[in-house]
Amino acid sequence: MLDFELYNPTKLVFGKGKIDKLASLVPVKAKILLAYGGGSIFKNGIYEQAIKNLAGFEVIEFGGIEANPHFETLMKAVEIVRDKKIDFILAVGGGSVIDGVKFISAAVLFEGNPIDILKKRILFKDLSKVIPFGTVLTLPATGTEMNSGAVVTIVATQEKLDFGGSAMFPKFSICDPTVIVSLPKRQLQNGVVDAYVHVLEQYLTYSHDGYLQDRISEGILQTLIQVGPSVVENPADYTLASNFMWSCTMALNGLIQKGVPSDWATHMIGHELTALYGIDHARTLAIIGPNLYRVMFETKKGKLAQYGKRIFNLTGSDDEIANEAINKTVGFFQTMGMKTKLSECTGDYTKTADFIVDRFEERGWKALGEKQNITLEKVKKIIEMSF
């Protein structure tokens, strides 16, 4: 096992009606910016619950944070936080709103041009340099409610870039599984697949001796396979909703990544597809992931075979099992409503591979993956296989 340090200060408050705890979680006398997205919180009653529980606090609202949050929009909130001397931010929304709030939190006191937070991938470690924030999660998927990363889109250049650091954990996150009843089926499907691929990014690498990490990862995968297809049909079922929500958090709160290698190339390529074509984040992963496993077959064969045996009960030679495990993964994504080819999602894809490879080259991203052996040539092949 590799050496590791584990630090996760986020207080997770999980369960039905836990938004009632809001007043006790927000710092006393805080002046709060309540940040939200396109308005779903007004339709499903979450806004009302939040406001009711913040009675007595000074609250300023900032709405309109887009899915795949825009740097340009977030900068407007940064101005408000500076002008009004806000000292706490509350994100009420999905991954986009929460990531947007992480950016606002980091940008307010940033010395220099905040675009560099993304362009230069600044690490935030000093709590005195960020505005503290908490979250009310409305969409299980990303794990951002309990991690220290965020992804933001610069519209002007069509770039989707990430940043983070140990100062970027939420102070608290309220996770009430009943919030998922108002989610469109498409977003529920996205949530299951995003979380599933988060596990695969940290699990489908090469064989190692992190036995417990593997078993925890396999537990999350099995739970997502167990509840995924039914939770999208019955989001009001609390057993399904709570297992779904907790699996998503556990998939990317840092725990399963400790002491083991990780990949993340599927996400790096996927982010480009969202930036270029607006394809939902999870849907880009369903397109890229399986082809990446095919192209990187020799590197990943051992873990693919373990995955095939333990998750899908496959038998045969390791090569046969590993291959079939990829097919089973595609099958699961399709069961979850994913299209697994780029041509099914956009008509404008022929130059995609060259464009992304050029971009990666400019950024110096020439060796990706757990063994740094996903070269630009391989990136091109992975994308072209996805057409």
Question: Shortest distance, CB of residue 194 to Zn ion, whole angstroms?
Answer: 4
Tell me how far apart the alpha carbons of residues 50 and 85 are, in angstroms, rounded to a whole number.
Answer: 21
Question: Shortest distance, CB of residue 252 to Zn ion, whole angstroms?
Answer: 7
Residue 174 touching ligand NZQ (CB under 6 A): no
Residue environment code for 254-279, b if the CB has 16+ CB neighbours within 10 A, otherwise e: bbbbbebbbbbbbbbbbbbbbbbbeb
The smaller minimum CB distance to ligand NZQ, of residues 252 and 326, is found at: 252
CA dihedral sign of residues 43, 44, 48, 51: negative
252 binds, among Zn ion, ligand NZQ, none (CB under 5 to 8 A by kind): ligand NZQ
Question: Shortest distance, CB of residue 163 to ligand NZQ, whole angstroms?
Answer: 10
The smaller minimum CB distance to ligand NZQ, of residues 106 and 150, is found at: 150
Q: Please state the separation of Cα 196 from the chain's center in Å.
A: 11
Q: Indicate the helix (H) or strand (E) that contains 219.
A: helix 211-231
Residue 165 touching ligand NZQ (CB under 6 A): no
Question: Shortest distance, CB of residue 248 to Zn ion, whole angstroms?
Answer: 10
Residue 179 touching ligand NZQ (CB under 6 A): yes
Residue ranges in 181-220 that form contacts with Zn ion under rule CB under 5 A: 194
Residue 70 touching ligand NZQ (CB under 6 A): no
**Residue of 40, 253, 291, 340 interacting with ligand NZQ (CB under 6 A):** 40
182 binds, among Zn ion, ligand NZQ, none (CB under 5 to 8 A by kind): ligand NZQ
Tell me how far apart the alpha carbons of residues 380 and 14 are, in angstroms, rounded to a whole number.
Answer: 42
Q: Pick the stretch among 5-13, 138-146, 312-320, 366-374 that binds ligand NZQ (CB under 6 A).
A: 138-146
Tell me how far apart the alpha carbons of residues 65 and 48 are, in angstroms, rounded to a whole number.
Answer: 18
Tell me how far apart the alpha carbons of residues 331 and 333 are, in angstroms, rounded to a whole number.
Answer: 5
Take residue 317 and report the two structure tokens written for it: 């030679």
Residue environment code for 70-93, b if the CB has 16+ CB neighbours within 10 A, otherwise e: bbebbeebbebbeeeebebbbbbb
Residue 340 touching ligand NZQ (CB under 6 A): no
CA dihedral sign of residues 21, 27, 32, 35: negative
Phi, psi dihedrals of residue 13, rounded to the nearest 5°: -115, 105
Residue 182 touching ligand NZQ (CB under 6 A): yes
**Residue of 135, 173, 178, 187 interacting with ligand NZQ (CB under 6 A):** 187
Binding site for ligand NZQ (CB under 6 A): 37-41, 44, 67-68, 93-97, 99, 138-139, 141-144, 147, 149-151, 179, 182-183, 187, 190, 194, 252, 267, 281
Binding site for Zn ion (CB under 5 A): 194
